[in-house]
Each structure stands twice: as C-alpha cells, then as structure tokens.
C-alpha cells in the first residue's frame, strides 16, 4: 500500500511540474491545485517537495511558482531534441506560409504523441495545438503515424485498452484502428477528421533520423473546410515533401 501511495505522490508531482512548465505565466497554488485536481493543501506539499529539489521556485513577492534551476539543467540534457526541432523549424515555417495551415511536430512517448513544436496558422481564425499537449494514439493523426511506423507492440497494447471517444468520430473499435494504421503505413500519411475535435482535421506523416528510426511526426492542422476528410492529393504531397525534407536534414537516406 505504501508503494502505491508513493507512485501516486510521484505522479501528482510530475503533473504539477508539467503544469508549471507549460503554463504561459507563473501560477499560484490555487491554479495549480485546480489543474491537478488536488486540495490546495496537498498541492502546496507537492510544490514544497519540488522546491526542495530545485525543480520549481516561488516568487517571494507574488507567491507564484515557476520552473527552477534543476528543471533548466535537465532541459539542457535534452539538447538533442532542441537540435532536431531547430532543424525542422525552417521547413515547418515554409510549409505553414505556403499552405496557411498550422504545422505541428510531435514526438512519441508511452501511450501518446507529445507536441514539441507548433507553427500557428495564418488564417484569420487561428487553429493550432498547444505545445506540451499529449494526443491519444488512437484519436490523432500523429498517434496513428507512431502506431504505423513505430514499435508494433504499441498497437497490440491498445487491443486490451479501452479506446476513449473524444468526439462521435473518434475510433473506438480496435479492428477499425488496425485497418487505419495499416492504410497509413501503405499511404505514408494518416488523417483524423473530427476525431480529436469537431470541425477540425489533422494529417500527419513520419520523420526519420540518420539510422531510419522514427523520431517524430509532423502534421497539418486545420478546419474541415481546409483539410477535408479526403485530403487534396496536392496537400498530401506537400506534407510528405515536408517530412522527407526534415528527415534528410537529419541524415535519413532516400
């Protein structure tokens, strides 16, 4: 029982750390508690633990919390991630400027696609995805790419995992998902029309590194008006060209 409580406490600390890291401004203990679904007193204890280890600091004037020096040091150890997002950014901006669509890079993590880099759309009504978002593997184009080109065990694991519906269009049947993943593998891209949000479609393709390993997916995100359920072949080719250019810049062959 003590072990279970320790895991739960660690999970809450990490949730709080994520909130502080990706919040657009320093947060107060009430905001942080609400985001984590905790009582204010419990959130305060977890924040104190994070402060003790240098992961967050508290402004003595406003009492709000921001990332601390230990978080910065760990971030420096992830320099390889910064390197390839820096390489990808000019290609993504060029595609965004050409299409007007939001362009989003995600990296694989256990059970989700983690949004690492975004370029907002240029349309009057801006559509995008927040950096730090975790997208369901079964309910996002990026996730389908990771299932199609990543470790096969990921798809098998979802066979015994409830596939939660976010919208009426989210795939909740494993066999349907498996068929879509196979189609994505054959076509070289995946889409998820209205599966994560009504009225929005996303299409994604894989990014590989110098040794052929899948390291990311890049997606176009827009309204159904701009990315219909059956995407324009010209747009599909632009997406593939984008991810191929990024892959080649990272040393991939072909």
CATH topology of domain 78-249: Beta-Lactamase (3.30.450)
Q: What is the CATH number that goes with domain 2-75?
A: 1.10.10.10
| Cα distance between residue 40 and residue 137, in whole Å | 32
**Domain coordinates of the chain in residue numbers?**
2-75, 78-249
Q: How far apart are the first and last CA of the chain?
A: 53
> Per DSSP, what are the bridge partners of residue 113?
108, 135
| Cα distance between residue 49 and residue 9, in whole Å | 10
Domains 2-75 and 78-249 alike in fold: no
pTM over 0.85? The answer is no
Q: What is the chain's pLDDT, residue by residue, as a tens digit (254 residues)? A: 455 666 788 888 988 998 888 887 898 999 998 988 888 899 899 999 999 998 999 988 899 999 888 887 777 665 555 578 889 999 999 999 999 999 999 999 888 999 999 999 998 887 778 888 899 999 999 999 999 999 899 999 999 989 999 999 999 999 999 999 999 999 999 999 999 999 999 999 999 988 888 999 999 999 999 999 999 999 999 999 999 999 999 888 86
């Amino acid at each position: 029982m003590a072990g279970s409580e320790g895991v739960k406490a660690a999970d809450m600390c990490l949730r709080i750390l994520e909130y502080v890291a990706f919040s657009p401004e320093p947060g107060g203990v009430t905001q942080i508690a609400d985001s984590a679904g905790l009582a204010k007193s419990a959130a305060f204890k977890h924040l104190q633990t994070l402060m003790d280890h240098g992961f967050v600091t508290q402004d003595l004037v406003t009492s709000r919390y921001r990332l601390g020096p230990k978080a910065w040091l760990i971030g420096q150890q992830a320099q390889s991630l910064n390197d390839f997002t820096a390489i990808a950014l000019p290609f993504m901006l060029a595609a965004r400027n050409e299409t007007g669509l939001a362009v989003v890079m995600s990296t694989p993590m256990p059970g989700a696609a983690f949004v690492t880099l975004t370029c907002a759309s240029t349309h009057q009504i801006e559509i995008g995805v927040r950096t730090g978002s975790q997208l369901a593997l079964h309910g996002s184009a990026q996730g389908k790419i990771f299932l199609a080109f990543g470790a096969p065990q990921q798809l098998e694991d979802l066979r015994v995992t409830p596939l939660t519906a976010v919208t009426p269009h989210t795939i909740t049947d494993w066999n349907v998902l498996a068929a879509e993943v196979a189609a994505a593998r054959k076509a070289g891209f995946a889409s998820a029309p209205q599966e994560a949000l009504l009225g929005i479609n996303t299409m994604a393709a894989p990014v590989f590194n110098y040794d052929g390993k899948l390291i990311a997916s890049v997606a176009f995100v827009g309204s159904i008006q701009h990315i219909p359920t059956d995407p324009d072949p010209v747009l599909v080719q632009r997406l593939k060209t984008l991810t191929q250019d990024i892959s080649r810049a990272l040393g991939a062959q072909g």
